[in-house]
Amino acid sequence: MDKTKLTLPQMLPDFASKTAVITGAGQGIGRCVALSFAAAGAHVLLADLDEDGGRESLALIRGRGLRADFIPTDVSDEQSVLALMQAAAESGRIDFLVNNAAIANAGAANVFSDSVAAFDRVIAVNLRGPFLCARAAIPQLRVNGGAIVNIASTRAVMSEPKTEAYAASKGGVAALTHALAMSLENSGIRVNCVSPGWIDTSGWRKSGAKDSQLSEADHKQHPAGRVGIPADIASACLWLCSPDSGFVTGANLVVDGGMTRKMIYTE
């Protein structure tokens, strides 16, 4: 893990008295989101099925003198999720839930596969997981008024071949978001989602993981002039949990450098 690449959001709200539960916090976007909330002053509960990654993230956050605990969690399993939220509640409160945990491809999770098991696993983690986590966190989120941020994807509206499970799961997350927002109207809980585009997680991966090698052409595909970084997503999550976004619920914030809006013609 190259700590020199750990760019954080430039603007941090004051979350000094808050508690945030971040799923999929063991590496990548989730690790950056967790560190960003901790840097904003929150007590962060890190949840991940990967215990090595989760403990690395915990050491990173505590190594900066910030507050965090790690709870090994399988977000697709109801009892595991209930244990996570119970641990969070015992810490005093739950103010924010960021549903980031996801798997991109559990084997051959596509229409050409001989088995539907891989498809079911992706849906279980990526879509059932946010539902279970939201359901279990709602009683605590109601107490002080809180926010749920689901991490969807631009893959909800665009695809590469053989990505049926992932695309379907992320489309489901976007729909789940506005459904939850309506079910929780007037509860004091706001629900939104962030749809990342191409995000380079170099520096935020587990120890030993290989970083990406990006070309100038990769950056030029984006109207913003560069590939995204995890801090771009963390900034969106922080804002959606802050009072500055108090009039925003049921929204899908696309953070992709404009890539899904760019028309590309080939000759």
How many C-beta neighbours within 10 Å does residue 37 have?
Answer: 33
Q: What sign for the dihedral angle of Cα 5, 195, 133, 183?
A: positive
CA distance 117 to 165: 11
How many C-beta neighbours within 10 Å does residue 4 have?
Answer: 6
| Gyration radius of the chain over CA positions | 18
Distances (CA, A) of 202 to 129, 214, 222: 25, 10, 18
The pair of three-digit structure tokens given for residue 80, joined into one six-digit string: 């595991």
E-assigned strands of 102-163?
A: 147-151
Q: Judge whether 166 counts as a catalytic residue.
A: yes
CA distance 148 to 146: 7
Annotated catalytic residue within 15, 166, 204, 239 = 166
Which helix (H) or strand (E) element contains residue 22? Answer: strand 19-23
Instruction: State the catalytic residues.
Output: 166
